[in-house]
Structure 1
Amino acid sequence: MKVTDYIAEILVEHGVTTVFGYQGSSVAHLIDSISQHPNLTFVETRHEQGAAFAANGYALSAGGLSVAVACSGPGGINLISGIADAYYDSLPGLFITGQVSQKEMKTDSDMRQNGFQETDIVSIVSPITKYAVSISEADKIKDELTKAIQAAVSGRPGPVLLDIPHNIQTARICPEKIVKSVKECVSAKPDIDAVIEELENSRRPVFVFGGGIRRIDIEQAALLDRLSIPVVTSYRGKDRIDNCNVCYCGTFGVFGLRCANWAVRYSDCIVCFGSRLDGRQTAGEDLHLYADKKISVIDVDLHELNKFSDDYHKYYIDANDALTAIISRAEGNIRYKKWLSTIKVWEKRYPIVNEYRIFDGVNPNKLLRDISRKSDIDANIAVDVGQNQLWANTSMIIAQSQYLVQSCGLGAMGFALPAAIGAYFARRTQTICITGDGGLQMNIQELQTIKEYKIPIKIVLLNNKSLGLIRDYQNKALNGRHYGSVSGFGSPDYELLAKAYGLKYVKIKDNTYNDVLEEILKDDIPYIVEADISRQSTAYPEPTYGSDIINQSMELSGEELERIKEEAYGCR
């Protein structure tokens, strides 16, 4: 059996249905084997970065291993942003790069290059992969492929890379004669007695869900309902729980919902499941500075746990195993219900749709909330980076079977369009791409991929004629000097662009869009839907300079904040 045929077989065994990549002579045999396999689809993107982001979108939607391939040299280097995104957001991705034949490879490490397009991609990506290796012998492919895939999907998931020389790809092997040397990992049984005790003594507990917890199933959701413990999430954790669940209180952080931030601020017990609690969530403050509270952090990444001080209770266990153990043993408490009801009152008092106070053009908070409510119950919703991501995470109501596909740790602009393509091939359900005029242009070439494969993606372009998040920062920090965000930044005519790629085009100019939006979402063809957003767009609530997350802009009065505090501490 040829090595590349063997690789294709192993991918199918691990549930992979689609492989993304860009053709090149050093991967021609691999792509040929993938394309000829009856249970695999090869999708040719228009750039290797697009392939990497598509693979990440596939991983987020499928919930399993994804694969992207690229040629040696520039092809592999173009994968790097996608590899980094998978590393920071814990996505199980297998990236395979071609390499020149071994006889053409340099023999001295101090040599810059010997073969054409020869590049030591393994050394470049080692800091942002869980495992990266160059295959030196054909008979090692079984062992190395198994090691790589196991590393990608086990523990805290992440990307791996196999660099395979051309002559190794074309070699013949007998897989049944090769013995694997990989050991299986065994999960530890969670010991969470102390967490149970803290919850029993708590009056205002909060659960924090991050990207390190898997999606909550129906049984777990029912147990959460019984407990009535409020749940807030990071952006990566937003689709881990049905946003219609009575316990869900929104995303928290510097660009989070006010009610969610107040829940964290005034809680007396926080149990954090698979979240890094980074600066975008805490504004760089230690949560212990807010109040005398018990904080437990649960994670399968020991390095993440070790960064927390000894004031935190740290548990090196699987977040979902811990959640199941906690909610199945903890007792419901009438105090929790009063606390949850108080947070819900705050949510209604300060609705996210009303935070956007510009009446020129479309209200993006309203539009995105309406899209999430009107889209299919199992839709993929891919979101780019910038103000559009902030609007989406505070405004959209993500249902139990919907998937929110986004780049959070790396925060890569240009992610949404190729990621939407990958998400579509993972489940072939309704797929919506939310992007801005900056992000769309970073991987605009993938519109041809949509046309080529007839993918019925609805691209919702929130066009504020600027890089809105940077423009807003420049207003605050640089006296409104908008170099690069407004000055020097521009866009094509998107109606002509849609026509060039054979996509249907609709422009939404104001908030009277309900009928046309429903028609678009029901249609089974790709669209570019351009929403006219004010160039002065804001993403309130947002960070207030010199303040913490409890008083975001637009700032509330001292009397209002004191009222919130009294209501919180009234939950005893």
Structure 2
Amino acid sequence: MTNPIKVAADAVIHFLHNMGVNTFHNYPGGTIAPLLDACPQFDINVITSRHEQGAGYAALAQAKLTGLPGIVGVTSGPGVTNILTPVADAYFDSIPLLIFTGQVGTGDINRYQGIRQRGFQEVDTPLLMQAVTKAQFQPKSVSELIEILPQAWNIAIEGRKGPVSIDLPMDVQRSPYQQTITPKAAPAQLVNNSELTEFTQSLMTQVAQAKKPVIICGNGMANKELAVVLNKILARWPAAVSHSLLGIGVLDSHSPLALGFHGHTGSQVAGYAINEADLVLVLGSRLDVRQTGTLVDTFAPNAQLYRVDFDSDELTHARIKNDKQLNLALELFLPHFCQQIEALATPINLADWHQQIASLKSQFSWPYPAYPGISPVKVIETLSAQMPENTICVTGVGAHQHWVARHFRFALPNRQFFTSAGHGAMGYDLPTAIGAAMHSPESEVLCIVGDGSFQMNIQELGVITEYGLKVKIVVLDNHRLGLVSQFQLMNWDTDVACGKKHTPDFCMIAKGYGLSAQHCDDPSQLASAIEQFVQTDNAALLHIEIDNRHDVLPMLLGGQTTDKMWPYYDMQGNKLEHNDE
């Protein structure tokens, strides 16, 4: 058989094929063409989005669902600058990506004093990528390329996962090369058994004594295997469980032990429970300002705080004082801890704590004022009840994101929540949902968006019909950039940039792209509209208009402790005065 590897670009794609990759997301251009040309030779599907952001976000879903790095390729210059937003998303939310960027030939890369650009569409890609990737490479020869490619793969997936950029000059891609690029085994993490034993023994002492324990599950816990282990632990030590935004679903949202997610727009029940807790075990969570509020000295004030995280920098530079910390992967710590819990003679009785939590849930209902028309919470709860168990729910960024996080039921391994957390990027929604439909065809993919976030990458609707994907899209339209509008009104009494937005006919746009679509603004028709939407056996869009006064309430503001979130309005919709004291 003739060797299909003729140039370096062929060898790159052959390497990806051997590593288990079957899809190359891209937006094309001249300097990435050699890689695209090589894909069919090695049975790698080429998926072309409508914009570089669309390709990047689809690759992000690829990584989350396959367990391998997502793969995306773009051309030089504007291709690079357009891909930066999804790359930043991957970096801040710890998602492994390999970003292949085309580049001008090596002879034009070198800059000279006073010359801004030597080659057409040339930008300094490694410099631009430096702040939002784990590593950046720009091989100037084939020998450099075959050395760095396996290294880049390992960097993306080892430790705290993240994106790695590989900037490929055209002459390097097209250089003759006929060999296979050999993978290199990633180094295994070394376990300090004495530290693990000391930490776990100390934690078990606290477990035996604690009357009001809380486990905080962060993004590091958001995988199916760890969710299974957590449930085994809870069977013997039924601590209450709170989540970061990306940790939602590690425990079934409907579990009696579930507190919801805590922090800026989270659950007041979770905030109270953390404030009351005498032991807090933090698993794979950064405890950033949106989780803890600004008063770091008063977060979990009555608790011993134990923390496990793979990223040593997060522990070294923690915002919250840790009483005990362990720098170790949760995949190594949690089974060990589970063994200690299961070795207990009897399950730990926390009935009094459970009763207090049930009382908190009864006491702190969501303080949403009643406005005319359709309630966004009703929309979310109805969708949650009617969508099947194997639903991946993807949101954009805005008020709708937080309503979904609060009111949609999530439960790994089946019901998964995809959203942009650390970067908070509008436009994440539709292209990530498209990637989810491609890489998990057995799942139902529901994309819930706001009118603002949806219009950031609305052009990706064309990808749905081109590839025959079944993506269900709900547009919650309040004619307002809701969350920022709410912030502006709370602080300055004006929302000149965010309020009273004209929105297009989303149904007409969807139909223009070949999707079925319907509109609803009448509460009496909501149930039938959602039922028809859910039962549609193809891609569909449901455009729901809601009153523009609906806000995300309550909210943890600056100067507040987690047990004193400010509702902003009373139940009649009257604005409340805010006092930081």
Q: Answer whether TM exceeds 0.5 for this pair.
A: yes
Cα separation, 1, equivalents of 2:287 and 2:55: 30
> How far 1:61 sits from its partner (Å)?
3.1
> 2:295 aligned to 285, 297, 305, which one?
285
| 2:304 partner letter | K
Change over 3 Å in CA distance of 1:372–1:358 after alignment to 2? same
Q: Which residue of 2 aligns with 1:507?
A: 519
Q: 1:396 aligns with which of 408, 417, 434?
A: 408
Match of residue 187, structure 2, among 184, 203, 207:
184
Which amino acid is the alignment partner of residue 330 of structure 2?
A: A
Query: For residues 17 and 38 of structure 2, what CA distance do their matches in structure 1 show?
Result: 12
C-alpha distance in 2, partners of 1:276/1:44?
A: 35
User: Equivalent residue for 1:7?
Assistant: 12
Structure 1 stretch displaced more, 283-292 or 232-241: 283-292
User: What amino acid does structure 2 have at the position aligned with 1:255?
Assistant: T
Q: Is 1:455 aligned to residue 469 of structure 2?
A: yes
CA deviation digits over 1:24-72, x for unaligned, max 9?
010111112224432x222111111111122112223334310111001
Distance 2:47 2:408 in 1: 30
Structure 1 segments unaligned to the other structure (5+ residues): 558-572
For residues 267 and 83 of structure 2, what CA distance do their matches in structure 1 show? 34
After the TM superposition, which residues 438-517 of structure 1 pair with which residues of structure 2 at under 5 Å, given as runs? 438-479=452-493, 481-486=494-499, 489-512=501-524, 513-517=526-530
Residue in 2 that maps onto 1:414: 427
**Cα deviation per residue 1:313-344 (whole Å; 9 max; x = unaligned)?**
22101123322222331346544233133213
Matched, 1:252 2:265: no
1:136 and 1:425 map into 2 onto residues whose CA distance is 34
Aligned to 1:211: 219
2:248 alignment counterpart: 238
Partner of 1:371: 383
- Is the Cα contact below 8 Å between 1:381 and 1:433 reproduced in 2? yes
Post-superposition shift, 1:493? 1.6
- Of residues 542, 545, 549 in structure 2, which corresponds to 1:536? 549
What amino acid maps onto 1:57 in structure 2?
A: A
Superposition pairs of residues 511-526 of structure 1, within 5 angstroms: 511-512=523-524, 513-526=526-539
Indicate how the Cα distance of structure 1 residues 505 and 525 shifts in structure 2: closer, same or farther if over 3 A, else same. Answer: same
AA aligned opposite 1:194: S
- 1:131 paired with 2:135, answer yes
Work out the CA distance in 1 between the residues paired with 2:315 and 2:347: 29
Cα distance in 2 for partners of 1:195, 1:260 equals 22
- Shift in CA distance, 296/145, structure 1 to aligned 2, threshold 3 Å: same
Q: 1:17 aligns with which of 14, 22, 25?
A: 22
d(CA) in 1 for partners of 2:15 and 2:29? Answer: 22
Which amino acid is 1:204 matched to? K
Corresponding residue for residue 71 of structure 1: 75
Partners in 2 of 1:272 and 1:242 — Cα distance? Answer: 18
Verify: 1:54 aligned to 2:64, yes or no. Answer: no
Counterpart code for 1:222: K
SS of the aligned residue for 2:245 comes to coil
> How many residues matched?
551
Amino acid at match of 2:332: D
**Alpha-carbon distance between aligned partners in 2 of 1:112 and 1:126, rounded to the nearest angstrom:** 19
The aligned residue for residue 280 of structure 2 is 270
What one-letter code is carried by the residue in structure 1 that aligns with 2:354? L
> Match for residue 99 of structure 1?
103
When structure 1 is superposed on structure 2, of 231-240 and 284-293 the one drifting more is: 284-293
State the shift of 1:263 in Å. 1.1
8 A Cα contact 1:62 1:423, kept in partner: no
TM-score by length of 2: 0.90
Look up the SS of the partner of 1:239 in the other structure: coil
2:237 to 209, 218, 227: 227
Partner of 1:325: 336
State the match for 1:301 in structure 2: 311
Unaligned runs of 5+ in 2: 571-581
Kindly state the Cα deviation for residue 4 of structure 1 after the two structures are TM-superposed: 2.2
**Structure 2 vs 1, CA of residues 319 and 344 (structure 1 numbering), >3 Å: closer, same or farther?**
farther
Report the alpha carbon displacement of residue 217 of structure 1 after superposing the two structures with TM: 4.1
Summarize the Cα distance change of 1:494–1:183 in structure 2 as closer, same or farther, 3 Å threshold: closer
Aligned to 2:374: 362
Secondary structure of the residue aligned to 1:272 is strand
Q: In the alignment, what sits opposite 1:563?
A: none
Q: 1:451 to 1:310 in 2, by over 3 A?
A: closer
1:168 aligns with 2:162: no
Percent of pairs identical after alignment? 27
Cα separation, partners in 2 of 1:161 and 1:350, compared to 1, 3 Å = same
Structure 2 residue 559 is matched with structure 1 residue 554: no
- Give the distance between the partners of 1:370 and 1:287, measured in 2 at CA: 40
Of the structure 1 ranges 89-98 and 492-501, higher mean CA displacement relative to structure 2 is found in 492-501
**Is the aligned partner of 1:338 residue 2:352?**
yes
Alpha-carbon distance between aligned partners in 2 of 1:449 and 1:317, rounded to the nearest angstrom: 40
SS in 2 for 1:212: helix
| Structure 1 position 139, deviation (Å) | 2.6
Q: What root-mean-square deviation, in Å, do the aligned CA atoms of Structure 1 and Structure 2 show?
A: 2.2
Do the aligned partners of 2:76 and 2:103 also contact (CA within 8 Å) in 1? yes
Tell me which moved more, 179-188 or 28-37: 179-188
Q: Distance in 2 between matches of 1:310 and 1:263?
A: 18
1:82 counterpart (68, 71, 86): 86
For residues 453 and 510 of structure 1, what CA distance do their matches in structure 2 show? 33
Q: 1:207-231: per-residue Cα shift (whole Å, max 9, x none)? A: 0000122423435423322311111
Query: Is the Cα–Cα contact under 8 Å of residues 147 and 182 in structure 1 kept in the other structure?
Result: no
CA contact (8 A) 1:91 1:159 kept: yes
Among 157, 163, 174, which residue is 1:153 paired with? 157
* Greater alpha carbon shift after TM alignment, 251-260 vs 542-551: 542-551
Tell me the alpha carbon deviations over residues 223-271 of structure 1, each in whole angstroms, 9 at most, x when there is no partner: 3223111111001101333324443221111211111111111001101
1:372-429 deviation per Cα after TM superposition (whole angstroms, max 9, x unaligned): 2322222211111010111011111113312211100000011101111111112112
Q: Is the CA contact 2:299–2:561 (under 8 Å) kept in the aligned structure 1?
A: no
1:79-126 deviations in whole A, cap 9, x for unaligned? 101111111000011111011122332353764211111111001111
Contact 2:293 2:557 in 1 (8 A): no
Please give the secondary structure, in 2, of the residue aligned with 1:295: strand
